[in-house]
Amino acid sequence: MLKEDFRFSLFDFALSLSEAVDAISPALGNHQKRATYIAWDIGKEIGLSIEQRRKLFFAGLLHDIGGLSLKEMLDLLNFDEDSSYNKHAELGYLLFKDFKAISEEANIIRYHHVPWDYGAGREKNGESIPIESHILHLADRISVLIDYKIEVLGQVGGIVEKIKGLSGKVFVPEFVDGFVKLSSREYLWLDVVSSNLDDELNKIHNLPLAFFDIESIRSLTKIFSRIVDFRSSFTATHSSGVSTCAVELAKLAGFSEKECATMKIAGYLHDLGKLAVPKEILEKPAKLSMEEFN
Ligand SMILES: [Fe+2]
Ligand SMILES: [Fe+2]
């Protein structure tokens, strides 16, 4: 068994996955990153600990990863339909829940569309809902209220009024109050619409470089292979099949144990770019149109 540790930036990893998911359509923009940035600032405003904010950060970057089709992803940008969005949240949870290092984030993702409902949203089906889920929910909805095609500061008053109107019913009142205070700071809005959002996210998160042994990296990348393969029923076990074959070939070719372990991980991730292709295209039974092909 290989004991060697790999230095591994969870932030870079989450960011690249987040980008792959948001690349499914230009209309999504940087939705997950924007919601993450807003959630981070609200968390800070209401006094969340740094550990809680880090969990929120990681969950935010990946919160919509369970959305499979383009239609589903675009629907998530519709402000008024939000209470019906449980499928992608549950799927996101299922994809991450077995990985110990991020199981709490999985729980945050699971409940990120549950309305506060005057306190009834503290729990669902007997399970208590993390407060980070409610912060992410608020940040997510603020993010979709912004019209990114026009100047942002002129929109702030309308967004604040809309969110305040749902305080208690949909959002936790204390979190709404925190947001209202925060909303007077122009930097928040300018950062959210900025094309340098990556830099801003990089400055705030302070996520330490994590040290993982190769076994943990293997189980993490296996999760991502499941996410990739899940996109299309035609390829449900494709990544793990490729991974297994590649390792057997590597062994026959005399590769070292470490090289074989790396091969396994590469096999799991080799189709990662598929995350950026919507299900409608992956599963289209007929020939693709030129536009779809592009
Ligand atoms: Fe969502
Ligand atoms: Fe979202």
The pairs formed by 174-179 with CB atoms below 8 angstroms and a separation of 24 or more are 174/46, 175/42, 175/46, 175/134, 175/135, 175/138, 176/138, 178/42, 178/45, 178/46, 179/42, 179/45, 179/138, 179/142
Q: How far is the CA of 15 from the centre of ligand 2 (A)?
A: 15
Q: How far is the CA of 181 from the centre of ligand 1 (A)?
A: 24
Q: How far is the CA of 251 from the centre of ligand 2 (A)?
A: 43
Query: For residue 63, is pLDDT > 60?
Result: yes
Q: Which ligand is nearest to the CA of 33?
A: 2
Q: How far is the CA of 66 from the centre of ligand 1 (A)?
A: 8
DSSP output for 71-128: HHHHHTT-GGGGGG--HHHHHHHHHHTT-GGGHHHHHHHHTTT---GGGGGGEETTEE
Q: How far is the CA of 64 from the centre of ligand 1 (A)?
A: 5
Q: Which ligand is nearest to the CA of 84?
A: 1
SS (H, E, C) 120-179: HHHEECCEECCHHHHHHHHHHHHHHHCCCCCCCHHHHHHHHHHHHCCECCCECHHHHHHH
Q: How far is the CA of 62 from the centre of ligand 2 (A)?
A: 9
Q: Which ligand is nearest to the CA of 28?
A: 2
- pLDDT value of position 83: 65
Lowest-confidence pick of 17-26, 39-48, 169-178, 284-293? 17-26
Q: How far is the CA of 233 from the centre of ligand 1 (A)?
A: 23
Q: How far is the CA of 137 from the centre of ligand 2 (A)?
A: 8
Position with higher pLDDT, 85 vs 127: 127
Q: How far is the CA of 77 from the centre of ligand 2 (A)?
A: 7
Q: How far is the CA of 64 from the centre of ligand 2 (A)?
A: 5
Closest CA to 226 of 216, 214, 236: 236
pTM tops 0.95: no
Fold of 10-205: Hypothetical protein af1432 (1.10.3210)
By the CB criterion, residues less than 5 angstroms from ion ligand 2 are 64, 140
Q: How far is the CA of 109 from the centre of ligand 2 (A)?
A: 10
Query: For residue 81, is pLDDT > 90?
Result: no
Q: Write down the domain spans for the chain.
A: 10-205, 210-293
Q: How far is the CA of 28 from the centre of ligand 2 (A)?
A: 9
Q: What is the Cα–Cα distance from 18 to 24, expressed in whole angstroms?
A: 11
Q: What percent of the chain has pLDDT over 70?
A: 94
Q: What is the Cα–Cα distance from 114 to 137, expressed in whole angstroms?
A: 8
Contact 17, 99 (CB under 8 A): no
As a whole number, mean pLDDT of residues 14-25 equals 80
Q: How far is the CA of 129 from the centre of ligand 2 (A)?
A: 17
Quick: pLDDT tens for 152-189.
999 999 999 999 999 999 999 999 999 999 999 999 99
Q: How far is the CA of 83 from the centre of ligand 1 (A)?
A: 10
Lowest-confidence pick of 108-122, 138-152, 279-293? 279-293
